[in-house]
Amino acid sequence: MKIDKAAIQEAVSTAHRDHSGDDGGKNASYIPYLASVDPSLFGVAVVTADGDVFEAGDARFEFALESISKIFSMALAMEDAGLNDFHDKVGADPTGDPFNSVVSVVLHGDSPVSPLVNAGAMATVSLIRADGAEQRWDKILAAQGAFAGRRNALSDVVNDSEQSTNFHNRAIAWLLYSGGTMYSDPMEACDVYTRQCSTLVTTVDLATMGATIAARGINPLTRERVISNPALVPPMLAEMTMEGLYTASGDWAYRVGLPGKSGVGGGMLAVMPGVLAIAAFSPPLDPVGNSVRGRKAVAQIAEALNLNLYNARDYSE
């Protein structure tokens, strides 16, 4: 499916213009660094599975990847543990609860339900095969860079801010350990998970990361095969549909129909398999934890380009 390049740039520019003035939402404040980011920043980008890049606004500003990191670590852990084992150990269902819910973990016998909530993401990190924390971290950072097509880096400022306030996640990690669903030292998994959230990307990087998923694991800019086994891609996209926007995932699927993933740094990503990825960044979040402008901009671009995974009629033409 080919989309006219002028139509993509028009959709990106229009979405940026239409939502620049939206002033709803608030920056995340439970991580002190995130509260300090300029709330007026707003970037939008599309990268196609063929490697064309379209952007508007602050699309080259570096922001914290946060929860969006979960999908890339999921690819590593699925590769190392195998699809079936990964599914058995981490689960794949929507939780219906906030991304940091302790209740959800307890209700399920101290086990995670999805790799895209904090509990499941820490269990995911613990399943990445490595000799200790540093090797595990190196694998995660290298994978993020390969998806983005450029080596991105840890922000010490963001990481310090998170590591000094992540007591809630540490509690979740110990709960998983007590339930036998943590596969490395729990504090090591929490530490590495916190680091993977504290790396910086631009909106263009994020769209490239999504386009790599859209292109079945081949980075369309570098042509590197980033996901060794293309069979890992459908479960990644399925899980994004189930839990990518937390308790708003169903609403997003109903209205937009594209696998998506958000982060409390203000990043927002949606993927149209085989075609392209749409990314946006803007720090103010809705109460669920999704970027207000990001959600609206990505949804608007998807609609303008007639992209909805469930709309079979359009893709058979």
Interaction site with ligand GLN (CB under 6 A): 66-67, 99-100, 118, 162, 169, 197, 263-264, 289
Q: Which is nearer to ligand GLN, 54 or 193 (CB)?
A: 193
Residue closer to ligand GLN, measured from CB, 197 or 213: 197
- Give me the least distance between CB of 118 and ligand GLN, in Å please: 5
Closest CA to 79 of 211, 218, 232: 232
| 206's tokens | 């994020």
User: Is the Cα dihedral 243, 28, 211, 298 positive or negative?
Assistant: positive
Residue 78 has a CB neighbour count (10 Å cut-off) of 27
Minimum CB distance to ligand GLN, residue 281 (Å):
13
- Which residue number places its CB atom closest to ligand GLN? 67
| Shortest separation between residue 192's beta carbon and ligand GLN, angstroms | 12
Residue 44: CB minimum distance to ligand GLN, A: 19
Which is closer to ligand GLN, CB of 99 or CB of 252?
Answer: 99
Closest distance to ligand GLN from the beta carbon of 285 (Å)? 9
Indicate the residue among 89 and 195 with the shorter CB distance to ligand GLN: 195
As beta bridge partners, residue 85 has none
Query: What's the CA gap between 267 and 264, in Å, rounded?
Result: 7
Closest CB 181 distance from ligand GLN, rounded Å: 18
Instruction: For the chain, report the end-to-end CA distance as a whole number of angstroms.
Output: 9
Which of 58/162 has CB closer to ligand GLN? 162
With respect to ligand GLN, which residue has the nearer C-beta, 240 or 264? Answer: 264
- Residues 147, 281, 235, CA angle at the centre, nearest 5°? 45
Locus of tokens 């509690």: 171
